[in-house]
Amino acid sequence: MAKYLVTGGAGFIGSHVCDALVSRGDSVVVLDNLSTGISHNLDQLVGNPSFDFISGSILDENLVGSLVASVDHVLHFAAAVGVFTIVDKPLESLTTNLRGTENILEAAAKHGKPVLIASSSEIYGTAGSDGKPLNEESNRVLGSPLKSRWSYSEAKAIDESMGMFYHLEKGLPVRLVRFFNTVGPRQVGHYGMVVPRFVDAALHGTPLAVYGTGNQSRCFCHVYDAVAAVLSLIDSDVAIGQVFNVGNDVEITIADLAKKVISSLGSSSSIEMISYEDAYPNNGVGFEDMQRRIPDISKIKSVIGWEPKLGLDAIIKDIAASIGHN
Ligand SMILES: NC(=O)c1ccc[n+]([C@@H]2O[C@H](COP(=O)([O-])OP(=O)(O)OC[C@H]3O[C@@H](n4cnc5c(N)ncnc54)[C@H](O)[C@@H]3O)[C@@H](O)[C@H]2O)c1
């Protein structure tokens, strides 16, 4: 049994990781400032002697230092995420995503604690729009650094570099995980995530708004699969000093996704086509404008034997059930 610090543990992916760790017998301390996370996501763990919640920020160096010193492993999920957060508060978001990660790495190096850092497929920018699967070595294609929409991509990429250099120069055991679109229960639709938005509309019988032509496609990974990948990676010594894509490589167009959600849930909703200009009045800030982005997951398959097991039917069913329960 080990003790884990999970930053961002009140968030979507982090809270599922906490559930999985506690249920396998480990103990967990969450550090979260509840900026996008929800304390309700951890209700099931409250009162469990293997669980503790600390309300605070990864920008608080002293707090981070004392928490890192008190655990065996650090899982760093805290980040400023979501189109609206990044565009509305660009400086605060960049600071959280850069300085916050640096604080975690610095404390981990000082106390000699292994770290897993959550990165993102956003680091690729618009690379992969041609439908060629993106592997861990693929090049990135980004716009101007003065456009706030790229700052999340840039910060996550620097986080990866920082993590790798802490490993190479200071011998810190660092694992890097590049999550592609991850979906499932507890994910909130108001950050522009298309699946919970569609499921919510279908359950309420309101139109499913498809932006643009609907021909843009996405690959969706169930959060339970992503959590299984995280657990396998933290248990694996060969994962140290490496980056892994974690995602599902089955592709679907957004128009087909809307039809699938409606038919799976037996909904009476219609589909409404909305132009990008109307969907994003501030033009150019949307993250939903990539035509395609397919993960190449052959590395994680061959190194630790992980692959996704759950498809869109399970994703839609589980999100619908969780919305129904709220
Ligand atoms: N969900 C996805 O599809 C996806 C894809 C790629 C990468 N990721 C990465 O996975 C991680 C988790 O994302 P998520 O989807 O669960 O988002 P989320 O918003 O649900 O989780 C982020 C958590 O970090 C917390 N947080 C933000 N700033 C903080 C601070 N200064 N101090 C402490 N806590 C802070 C938030 O309150 C929240 O609980 C993030 O690092 C994100 O970049 C997610």
Is 324 a domain residue?
no
- Whole-number Å distance, alpha carbon 11 to ligand 1 midpoint, is 6
Task: State in Å: Cα 297 to ligand 1 middle.
Answer: 22
In a domain, 236, yes or no: yes
The reply to whether 272 falls in a domain is: no
Q: What is the CATH number of the domain that holds 176?
A: 3.40.50.720
**Averaged pLDDT, 21-50:** 97
Read off the pLDDT of residues 165-211 as tens digits, 9 standing for 90 and up: 999 999 999 999 999 999 999 998 766 689 999 999 999 999 999 98
Expressed as residue numbers, the domain containing 18 is 3-183+222-248+294-308
86 in a structural domain:
yes
Pocket test for ligand 1, best of 81, 103, 248, 290 (most atoms within 8 A of CB): 81
Paired tokens of 183: 């979906």
Asked if the model's pLDDT at residue 84 lies above 80, the reply is: no
The predicted-structure confidence for 211-268, as pLDDT tens digits, reads as follows: 889 999 999 999 999 999 999 999 999 999 999 999 999 999 999 999 999 999 999 9
* Whole-number pLDDT of residue 254: 96
Measured CA to CA in angstroms, residue 223 lies from 81, 82, 192 at distances of 16, 17, 17
> What's the 269 CA to ligand 1 centre distance in angstroms?
31
Tell me, using a 6 A CB cutoff, whether residue 196 lines ligand 1: no
Report the b/e string of 220-231 with b at 16+ CB within 10 A. Answer: bbbbbbbbbbbe
By three-state DSSP, how is residue 258 classified?
Answer: helix
User: Given a cut of 50, is residue 326 above it in pLDDT?
Assistant: no
From the CA of 152, give the closest atom in ligand 1: 43
CA of 7 to the centre of ligand 1 (A): 9
Catalytic residue among 152, 211, 224, 280: 152
**Closest ligand 1 atom number to CA of residue 118:** 41
For residue 323, being part of any structural domain is answered with no
Q: What is the pLDDT of residue 323?
A: 83
Number of domains into which the chain is organized: 1
The answer to whether the CB of 58 is under 6 A from ligand 1 is yes
- Residue 166 annotated as catalytic: no
In a domain, 90, yes or no: yes
- Would you say residue 38 lies in a domain? yes
Instruction: Classify residue 88: in a domain, yes or no.
Output: yes
CA distance linking residue 276 with residue 274, whole number of Å: 7
